[in-house]
C-alpha cells in the first residue's frame, strides 16, 4: 500500500538523465559566476551577459569573429586608415 509508512523503498537508482541534468546545471552556475566575477571580456559581457544566452546562439564564435565584433585586433586600425574612425584605439583602452 502506498500509504503504509512501514513500506520499504525498493529502488536506489537515479536515472542518468537526471544526473547529467544536475551536473550541467551546476556547471552552468559555476560558469556564470566566473563570467560575472571575471575582469576580462567587458565588451563581450555587454553583448552576452548570461551564459545561457551564449549557449543558445547558433553561430560559431571564434577569435576572428570576436575580434571583428568587439573591435579588438587589427580591425579598428584598418578602418582608421580610411578615416572612418577617429582613432584606432582598442575599446579596452590598451593600445591600437
- Choice between 86 and 24, residue whose per-residue pLDDT is larger: 24
Q: At residue 1, does pLDDT exceed 60?
A: no
Give me the number of domains the chain comprises.
2
* Owner of C-alpha cell 582598442: 90
DSSP letters along 10-58, please?
------HHHHHHHHHHHHHHHHHHHHHH-SS-HHHHHH--SHHHHHH--
pLDDT band, residue 32 (cuts 50/70/90): very high
Range of the domain at 93: 59-96
Report if residue 44 sits inside a domain: yes
Report if residue 3 sits inside a domain: no
pLDDT band, residue 46 (cuts 50/70/90): confident
Amino acid at each position: 500500500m502506498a500509504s503504509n509508512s512501514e513500506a520499504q523503498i525498493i529502488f536506489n537508482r537515479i536515472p542518468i538523465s537526471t544526473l547529467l541534468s544536475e551536473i550541467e546545471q551546476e556547471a552552468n552556475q559555476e560558469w556564470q559566476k566566473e563570467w560575472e566575477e571575471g575582469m576580462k571580456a567587458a565588451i563581450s559581457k555587454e553583448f552576452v551577459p548570461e551564459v545561457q544566452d551564449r549557449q543558445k546562439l547558433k553561430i560559431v564564435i571564434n577569435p576572428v569573429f570576436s575580434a571583428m565584433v568587439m573591435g579588438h585586433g587589427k580591425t579598428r586600425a584598418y578602418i582608421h586608415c580610411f578615416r572612418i574612425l577617429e582613432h584606432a584605439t582598442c575599446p579596452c583602452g590598451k593600445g591600437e
